Structure 1
Amino acid sequence: MSKYVIHGGKRLEGELCIDGSKNAVLPIIAATLLSGNITYLQHCPRILDVEIMIEILKQLGCKVEWEQENLMIHTSTLQNCDISEELVKKMRSSIILLGALIGRCGEARISQPGGCQLGARPIDLHLSALKQMGVHITEQQDTIICKSSNLHGAEISLALPSVGATENIMLAATLAQGNTTIYNAAKEPEIVDLQDFLVACGANITGAGTEMIKIQGVKKLGGVNYRVIPDRIIAGTYLVAAAITRGNITLKDIRIEHLDTIIKKLEEVGCHIKASSNEVSLMAPTHLKGIELITEPYPGYPTDMQSQMMALLCTCESPSRIKENLFEARFKPAYELMKMGAKIHVEDNEAYIMPTHLMGAKVNATDLRGGAALVLAGLAAEGYSIVNQIHYIKRGYQNIVTDLSSLGAQIQEKE
């Protein structure tokens, strides 16, 4: 198994361009199933999760090819709606294929999804919404079987603003008969990007980015050439990397409005930030202060940036508190950080962090964002750190070694 070897204590400096968004491109790839035409996705990240999604589409009979950083997808050759259990178990986001396959074929068969183990993440909201749209759902052991001979619109109120459920409803409703309204919809930028892609293909959808999304079903979609939004979590991760090393970096090809809450928290710890619509610069002073951090659905502080900020707060000069409101297992990285000397006390969904001096150690990534946090801690730690199980990190970061090395970090991937 590969690992990252990091020699800490190097101040990050320089410029980077940000890759396309993982959380935006995955539902968009699923959405290409609805058209049956050729789609070109520009700025597509070449990450493990995208490669898994490509394998699923190929297994379904579609044609997919890379053209540098662009992805060509031809879905007219779709042959079946039975998704490989082996591939589904590798990635939780594969569940969004349900809505697309039902919309295209009127049926789908999929196993319970896998991915990072962040605690209970039931798909009840997805299945309940699809049932309201006329989908008959049966479960055989670990397999979900969906069929519909009359997919229709519905008024759907989500108990929680679930991103995945919102995406699945949008995908199913695009080609359904009649109108669908989603109440308490997720507001994330990735939801807006999915709407923009579908509208570019010919869908009739409005309201993404608000709590109410309206979809008027259409009869067919066309192919399109579409550029995926930049990844706000990668941008946030690299801003924290600069802060934890007390560095000075500039990120280009970003959407500044997507980084608002992350930037506010970095300013709160004491970082100096200058920003324009598509560029942001961060300079970190030697002395940073602890803060209180609470994760919330968008536009609140993202849970996907909680672990990285935890690593940074270990290096601040006053205590901090984190309250995790979304995933009960998000604090797993805390126990790995403790191997590096971090002083963290976890109690239920709160973590209390005391100032410390991080030391290099061998640690294990247990999920995507927690793994990134361990890399950041290694950048700041004294001596050498080894981060194992880096396949988690590769699910969402295309060039983390190359990117950080270009900023002056001493990091290598080794067998």
Structure 2
Amino acid sequence: MTATLTGTKTFVVTGGNQLTGTIKLSGAKNAALPMIAAACLGEEPTLLDNVPVELRDVKILIQILQESGAAIEVNGSTVSCARGSFPNGSINPIASEIRYSLLLLGLAAALQSELLLPMPGGCKIGDRKYDLHLMGLSKLGATIDETEEGIHISSKGSVGSEIEFYLPTTSGTENIMIAAAIAEGTTTILNANTRPEIMELAKLLNLMGAEVECSNRIVQIKGVKSIRGGVRYAVMPGWDEAVTYIVASTMTGGEICIPDFSLDFIKEDARLLKEIGIDVFEWGGAVYASGKKEKRAFDLFTAPYPGINSDMQPIFAALAFVANGKSTITDLRFTERFKYIDELKKYGGSVHAFGNTAIIEGGRRLQGAEVKATDLRGGASCILTGLVSEGVTIISNVSQIERGYENIVSKLQQLGANIESRIS
């Protein structure tokens, strides 16, 4: 499932081009991953369309599920998933490279099984606890032990419970939804994250035979005896990808069209973009954005949905370089998510970070630099900054970027960016 490349892969960006054109979005990574896991509850194969199968995180999740007995087949961007004999063996250590491997715990709990999961990974963006996952699964009746080898879970059947999170967690909510789908009684998650990916997961589970209701910050799951599956559902478009390409185009003064997308997925992002001076509107089933106008400085505070997701603050940090005045970005979720700021400093702009806040003064001349993708979104921020810098930018550790953006180089090239991938 995973390709091996010889040499070091970098992205090389030459700034100065205006980005204009049409981009078709891939499926949303953070919607596809829990859907793949949830589809493995089904006794019959469920077909998921629009899966971003080229993303490394998606490849790894499919690989570890297949190796542990799930019946998964990939055909283009369609993935067929069923329970198979999951779990029937040890989990590949590669599972430690992605955070969404945690969902195997909920899957094992639902199927009254046991497994040993290597410690989960993902972006290093500060304190990313998984205690809420373990607390919720324990309340459903699972026995959990943490050792140096990983997280061991065993379950003889889940029993519904009321579970209250001290903060809304996306993957934690998804894990409990999967675990409680086949349970005795009703499970209620209070202070759940109910962003669009959660709503889409609930729709899929209900089609498969579960009984899930979502409202603002509350998810209720009425346990059923079995999940039949045997349905077909499309993964929602990548809203995070949409925001990234809107910013990429408009910060260069260009214009972009994104077909088959709705601003309903990015209401707060769109509101802030308009406040900054970017024209964003929806017409004929597509989203359009133009960056021809002067851009104003802004203040951004991340928040759970419907607020602006923490994932997007590095993208807006790049945009701040072309806005007139000082912009502030405060992350109220991952307070240490500013490692990428040290990389942005290399472009010569005025950018500083302290505590959970970054301050960026726009309008200064930027120069291409050699930088490193510290994490997924921080790496994307480096690309965007390179697009408006003079000269050449070389970005290393690009595997981080490729964890969340499918074919990002070719998509930016479609818009007119001077960017290429090199192996040296």
TM-score by length of 1: 0.97
| 2:185 equivalent to 1:210 | no
Partner of 1:150: 157
Match of 2:377 among 369, 372, 389: 369
C-alpha distance in 1, partners of 2:169/2:280?
A: 31
Partner of 2:192: 185
C-alpha distance in 2, partners of 1:79/1:121?
A: 26
1:332 is paired with a residue of what secondary structure? coil
Match of 2:65 among 51, 57, 65: 57
Deviations 1:326-374 (A, max 9, x none): 1123111111011011211211111111122221111000101111111
* Alpha-carbon distance change, 248 to 362 in structure 1, aligned in 2, over 3 angstroms: same
Partner of 1:232: 239
C-alpha distance in 2, partners of 1:211/1:74?
A: 29
Q: Is the 8 A contact 1:102 1:108 kept in 2?
A: no
Q: CA deviation at 1:142?
A: 4.1
C-alpha distance in 1, partners of 2:145/2:154?
A: 9
Q: CA deviation at 1:231?
A: 0.8
Q: Is the 8 A contact 1:244 1:377 kept in 2?
A: no
Match of 1:78 among 78, 83, 86: 86
Structure 2 counterpart of 1:279, which letter?
Answer: A
Q: Is the 8 A contact 2:136 2:176 kept in 1?
A: yes
Match of 1:122 among 129, 140, 144: 129
Deviations 1:305-335 (A, max 9, x none): 1001101101211111111111123111111
| 2:270 equivalent to 1:256 | no
Structure 2 counterpart of 1:360, which letter?
Answer: G
Q: CA deviation at 1:215?
A: 0.6
Q: Is the 8 A contact 2:112 2:156 kept in 1?
A: no
C-alpha distance in 2, partners of 1:107/1:119?
A: 30
Q: CA deviation at 1:391?
A: 0.2
Q: Is the 8 A contact 1:125 1:165 kept in 2?
A: yes
Partner of 2:301: 294
Residues 1-400 of structure 1: pairs in structure 2 closer than 5 A = 1-46=8-53, 47-80=55-88, 82-84=90-92, 86-207=93-214, 209-222=215-228, 223-276=230-283, 278-285=285-292, 287-355=294-362, 356-400=364-408
C-alpha distance in 2, partners of 1:370/1:381?
A: 17
Q: Is the 8 A contact 1:246 1:284 kept in 2?
A: yes
1:76 is paired with a residue of what secondary structure? coil
Identity %: 37
C-alpha distance in 2, partners of 1:236/1:340?
A: 22
Q: Is the 8 A contact 1:106 1:151 kept in 2?
A: no
Q: Higher mean Cα deviation, 248-257 or 389-398?
A: 248-257
| 2:422 equivalent to 1:414 | yes
Deviations 1:221-255 (A, max 9, x none): 12211111111100010011012111111111223
C-alpha distance in 1, partners of 2:170/2:86?
A: 26
Q: CA deviation at 1:79?
A: 4.6
1:414 is paired with a residue of what secondary structure? strand
Q: CA deviation at 1:264?
A: 1.0
Q: Higher mean Cα deviation, 38-47 or 72-81?
A: 72-81
C-alpha distance in 2, partners of 1:180/1:65?
A: 31
How many equivalent residue pairs? 413
Structure 1's consecutive aligned runs of 4 or more residues displaced over 4 angstroms after TM superposition are none
Deviations 1:250-284 (A, max 9, x none): 11122321111111111111111221484111111
Structure 1 counterpart of 2:79, which letter?
Answer: L
Deviations 1:173-214 (A, max 9, x none): 00011111111110110000110110010100112x521111
Q: Is the 8 A contact 1:12 1:246 kept in 2?
A: yes
Please provide the CA RMSD for this pair.
1.4
C-alpha distance in 2, partners of 1:132/1:4?
A: 46
C-alpha distance in 2, partners of 1:312/1:366?
A: 18
Partner of 2:411: 403
Q: Higher mean Cα deviation, 72-81 or 256-265?
A: 72-81
Where does structure 2 lack aligned partners over 5 or more consecutive residues?
1-7
Q: Is the 8 A contact 1:197 1:226 kept in 2?
A: yes
Structure 1 counterpart of 2:255, which letter?
Answer: N
Deviations 1:135-174 (A, max 9, x none): 1111222411111223100011111111111111100000
Structure 2 counterpart of 1:389, which letter?
Answer: N
Q: Higher mean Cα deviation, 380-389 or 71-80?
A: 71-80
Q: Is the 8 A contact 2:338 2:353 kept in 1?
A: yes
Where does structure 1 lack aligned partners over 5 or more consecutive residues?
none
